[in-house]
Amino acid sequence: MNAFRDAGHLFRLAGVFAAGVLLFLVLRSFLVPKSFGEYGHYRGNALAEIAARPVNFAGHETCETCHADVLEKKRDGKHAHVNCEACHGPLAKHADDPSSVTPAKLDAAVLCVRCHEANAAKPKSFPQVVSADHSNGLPCDTCHQPHSPAIAAEPAK
């Protein structure tokens, strides 16, 4: 065993290394979140944290549970596939507490032109008007009902 005669300093060095590795492992187990690496190189719990955010738009199925009359009105009209909150805005708070949170009254003059003001970039098949020429300044809902906008007694073209 002559080869190991002066190896004492190597063992001491190995001891220091081992202590360092142990310290690293202990510190890491405290500092790295438990869910890190659960699905990949990231904190697995982040998914649940991002998913926990509250919603602002209730979704049209929620609206329709109470407002079946509006759904009926919309059904055969051109706006059948336009969801409620596309015009009425985010109303999850109203859906949670319908009695105390009431939606604001909408302004047809602002809302209709958002979609129907003529623009060369819009698809040609989409109904568009130049609002200044179309109604002589009358608000849209004088003639059109927003939930079913076709005018019943429209004269033949």
Partner 1 sequence: MNLTRRHLLLLLPAAGVAWKYILAGTPEVAPNYKLTDHWWGMLIDLTKCIGCGNCVRACQAENDVPDGYFRTWVERYHVTDYDIENPQVDSPDGGRKGFPPAKDPSGKNFFVPKLCNHCADSPCTQVCPVGATFIGPDGVVLVDKTYCLGCRYCVQACPYGCRFISPKTETAEKCTLCYHRITKGLTTACCETCPTGARQLADLKNPKDPIHEFLKTHSVQVLKPYMATHAKVFYNNLDGSVR
**Which of 5, 41, 105, 157 contacts partner 1 by CB under 8 A?**
41
Indicate whether 126 belongs to the interface with partner 1 (CB under 8 A).
yes
Write the CA distances from 76 to 72, 73, 81, 98, integer angstroms: 8, 7, 10, 27
CA atoms within a 13 Å half-sphere pointing along the CA-CB vector of 1: 5
Provide the sign of the torsion angle of the four alpha carbons 34, 36, 38, 44, taken in this order.
positive
Please count the other Cβ atoms lying within 10 Å of the Cβ belonging to residue 50.
Answer: 8
Contact segment (CB under 8 A) with partner 1 among 68-76, 94-102, 116-124, 141-149 equals: 116-124
Write out the two tokens for 18: 């081992």
56/102 with CB nearer partner 1 = 56
85/140 with CB nearer partner 1 = 85
3/121 with CB nearer partner 1 = 121
Site of interaction with partner 1 (CB under 8 A): 29, 34-36, 38-57, 59-60, 81-83, 85-87, 89-90, 114-115, 117-123, 126
